[in-house]
Amino acid sequence: MPPKKVAAVTTEYRKWSHADVILRNLLDGYPDGTKPGLELVALVTDQVPKGDTSRALAKKHGFAIYESVADALTLGGKTLAVHGVLSIGEHGTYPTNDQGQTLYPRRRFFEDVCKVFEKTGKSVPVFNDKHLAATWDDAKWMYDRARKLFVPLMAGSSVPITWRKPNLVLPKDCELTGAVQIGYGPFEGYGFHALEGLQCMVERRKGGETGVRAVTCHPAKTMWEPLDNTPWAGPVLRAALDRVAAHAAGAVRELTAKSADAGTFEIEYRDGLRAFVVMPNGWIHEGDGGGFVFAGLRKGADTPDACQFYLQQPDPFAHFAELTRAIDHLVATGHAPYPVERTLVTTGVLDAAMRSRHEKGKRIETPHLAIAYSPTEWGPARGEIPKPQKK
């Protein structure tokens, strides 16, 4: 069967950008030597930095670079000429708002894609990299627009489908007492990764996902207080911190107190579950597979379940190959391998957390996040983790 033709809309295309680590799998195949059933035929780059690699790759691989989304999706003609679209709105030089959110043009990209769908009377699957948009209003507009035009939509990051150490998949319909997710790095950009790690776990609890009631962002000065005041949280937090592969030698609380970019998201779910995303910047390091760690306590269990979401880096960044496999499934079947509602929830939680942080730790009620969905069985990567490539 010939590969499905896809177009990609990107903010920028340079070495180790998200455009690079995703689209390289279409151009060169997966690290294990197999190839996806997708062919990149058209590309749009919103910005062209000095280190741009897309022009040389277009000459090497034979895909076309267009100035507009409409031309990319129609290959310069009048009818929709691709089987799928990858919208990769990550990296590049873009402004931030007062809440510290980077305003990547993800809604603009999706608007332009949907204009083509509406004009041609046909829709094809779309993948949106990371959170749907910086703000809830834009994210909800995208979700609603996709439903109106019957667009099979998938979104999110590579964290939920990367390797887990150990390979922890919570039993579906398990009863969770509480959960802690560790994250690291830029508060918004990597805070989203942490939220996706948390959500792909807790959505498997009894009753599935029913939504989020409120979100509070506790700054570095008070980030440990809500955990100290929650009876179940002590051992769960310890189990999570114990699995962090790389961190400073000092005491975590002392070092995070000195960081302007440390903090805790407190998430109150509508069914009564409470969870925490802890960003111990100043103590945690990026090395040895990254610092995204989940720990959760099941009802009746003596000890928490815990795992690291292992990110293989640097090259070949094989966790992005796992994300590309999910995109391949989306385009091949017309069905997202896991619900876009997961990313709608995490997008909304992150937006509320950034608002809470901006408003000095105010508790933000989130009636708009009464979003219910059931998880699928598309789980973490299996098999051997590809070894880093030699420089």
> What pLDDT, on a 0 to 100 scale, did the predictor assign at position 55?
98
Cis ω on the peptide bond leading into residue 316 (within 30° of 0)? yes
Residue 342 counted as domain residue: no
Whether residue 168 sits in one domain with residue 71: no
- Say whether both 194 and 264 belong to one domain: yes
CB-based contacts of 192: which residues, under 8 Å, 6+ apart? 130, 131, 157, 346, 347, 350
How many distinct structural domains can be found in the chain? Answer: 2
Give domain status of residue 270, yes or no: yes
> Which of 116, 151, 186 delimits the end of a domain?
151
Token pair 């609380």: residue: 253
Look at the block and give the residue holding tokens 């939220």.
Answer: 195
Is 303 found in the same domain as 188?
Answer: yes
69 touches 120 (CB < 8 A): no
Ramachandran angles phi, psi of 70, nearest 5°: -60, -45
Collect the ranges in the chain with pLDDT lower than 50: none
Last residue of a domain, one of 287, 310, 333: 310
Q: How far is Cα 37 from Cα 329, in angstroms, rounded to an integer?
A: 9
Give the CATH number for residue 113.
Answer: 3.40.50.720
Residue 352, in any domain of the structure: no
Let me know whether 117 and 165 are in one domain.
no
134, 237: one domain: no
Residue 315 forms part of a structural domain: no
272 lies in a domain?
yes
Bridge partner residues of 88 (DSSP):
10
Reported as a single tens digit per residue, the pLDDT across 234-270 is 999 999 999 999 999 999 999 999 999 999 999 999 9
Which pLDDT belongs to residue 390?
A: 67
Same domain, 142 and 175: no
Are both 20 and 53 inside the same structural domain? yes
CA distances 22 to 128, 309, 384, Å, are 12, 18, 20
Is the domain of 40 the same as that of 177? no
Q: Which residue, 4, 200, 196, is CA-closest to 86?
A: 4
CATH number for position 266: 3.30.360
pLDDT of residue 387: 85
Secondary structure of 97-137 in the HEC alphabet?
Answer: CCCCCECCCHHHHHHHHHHHHHHHCCCCCEEEEECCCCCHH
16's tokens: 């180790």
| The predicted structure's pLDDT at residue 166 | 97
Q: Are strands 176-182 and 293-298 parallel, antiparallel or unpaired?
A: antiparallel
User: Which of 128, 151, 174 is the last residue in one of the domains?
Assistant: 151
**Range of the structural domain that residue 93 is part of:** 4-151
Both tokens of 234, joined, read 């002590």
Decide if 324 contacts 332 (C-beta within 8 A): no
Please report the pLDDT score of residue 389 as a whole number: 82
Q: Which of 287, 303, 304, 286 is nearest to 295 (CA)?
A: 304
Is residue 201 domain-shared with residue 138, that is, in the same domain? no
- 3-class DSSP string for the chain: CCCEEEEEEECCCECCCHHHHHHHHHHHCCCCCCCCCEEEEEEEECCCCCCECHHHHHHHHCCEECCCHHHHHHCCCCCCCCCEEEEECCCCCCCECCCCCECCCHHHHHHHHHHHHHHHCCCCCEEEEECCCCCHHHHHHHHHHHHHCCCCEEEECCHHHCEEECCCCCCCCECEEEEEEECCCCCCHHHHHHHHHHHHHHCCECCCECCEEEEEEEEHHHCCHHHHCCCCHHHHHHHHHHCCCCECCCCHHHHHCCCCCCEEEEEEECCCCEEEEEECECCECCCCCCCCEEEEEECCCCCCEEEEEECCCCCCCHHHHHHHHHHHHHHHHCCCCCCHHHHHHHHHHHHHHHHHHHCCCCCEECHHHCCCECCCCCCCCCCCCCCCCCC
Both 300 and 165 in one domain: the answer is yes
**Predicted confidence (pLDDT) per residue in 33-48, tens digit:** 999 999 999 999 999 9
Give domain status of residue 40, yes or no. yes
Instruction: Give all strands of the β-sheet with 38-45 in edge-to-edge order.
Output: 64-65, 38-45, 4-10, 84-88, 126-129, 153-156
The reply to whether 194 and 305 lie within a common domain is yes
Same domain? 253 vs 199: yes
